[in-house]
Structure 1
């Protein structure tokens, strides 16, 4: 059974806005390698449209090799987009989900293959409430953003995690690998 892994960046104050943070070459390299370990990444419409930025890097490469490598990796991995407003995508490796989030994820978990990543805050919150996330990989940037989208907004039940691994980046960012410690009931 494949794992569903929530992978997201956030600041010390819990802001997970894609404009917040301090991504550098080492972090880009980490996420390039991570994408190579999965079969697909799940996005909501908003995050999917933000990630389309990487298509511009494919067309006009950056001077930073790790950004170019990440652009290739994100282009390659299958992207499944959950949207009520998009009917189609024009990114060759992206498709619109055919079923609701719970049904789609349950079906993906049953298939053979590599893990499935979730890269949208809204989907992570929904899947957490459905008890369908197997692992969290949270990259915490050493900064306070002060404004923006709070990651765990909308969670009203206590959820306890078990820290299973850490990774420290040279820029002071910390990657925390968590598994759910308690099986909280789906809502």
Structure 2
């Protein structure tokens, strides 16, 4: 069984607006490494649509991109992508699959069938999956910024505090810090 790892960019004040992070080669290299280490990506519909609207064109060379960003796009194109949605069923981007039915059951099946693990990259979906006790690890890239606005991480709340064990932390040259935590159960 693979682990479900929640990974996201966030500012020091918890803002998860994708436009508030530092989008440089170092950041893309970091997320490309995480994607390479996982067997699949898992998103909600909103994140999928945001990604679908840009990254396939980069992978096809229709959008100019520096090497690190192009590498991310090409690898993302090939990676299995699973999408949770109750309002959309057609996901034409290559290697995209719809998850419907009971969320706990279907995501647990995905974890069980993906030994290399699943990388979760949607904040709202993460809240739901954390409420279902399915997230095993957290790999956040904390950016040296205070956004002063939302959306914020877990803004709709969790039923209880999650205890985490620090596995590693690594500062990047751009000032961001990669934080890897594992969920402490019991």
Please give the per-residue CA displacement for 1:17-64, whole angstroms capped at 9, x wherever unaligned. Answer: 112111210110111121111111111110001111111212324341
Distance 1:149 1:3, change over 3 A: same
1:113 deviates by 2.6
TM-score (norm 2): 0.93
Unpaired segments of 5 or more residues in structure 1? none
Provide the residue aligned with 1:70 in structure 2. 72
Please give the per-residue CA displacement for 1:65-121, whole angstroms capped at 9, x wherever unaligned. Answer: 001000011111111111111120111211111433211111122225311111101
- Preserved contact between residue 85 and residue 100 of structure 2 (Cα < 8 Å): no
CA distance in 2, matches of 1:135, 1:94: 23
Distance 1:134 1:58, change over 3 A: same
1:158 deviates by 1.7
Moved over 3 A (4+): none
Provide the residue aligned with 1:172 in structure 2. 175
CA distance in 2, matches of 1:109, 1:12: 30
Matched residue pairs, number? 183
Provide the residue aligned with 1:6 in structure 2. 6
TM-score (norm 1): 0.92
- Preserved contact between residue 39 and residue 114 of structure 1 (Cα < 8 Å): yes
- Preserved contact between residue 38 and residue 77 of structure 1 (Cα < 8 Å): no
- Preserved contact between residue 61 and residue 68 of structure 1 (Cα < 8 Å): no
- Preserved contact between residue 136 and residue 177 of structure 1 (Cα < 8 Å): yes
- Preserved contact between residue 82 and residue 97 of structure 1 (Cα < 8 Å): yes
Unpaired segments of 5 or more residues in structure 2? none
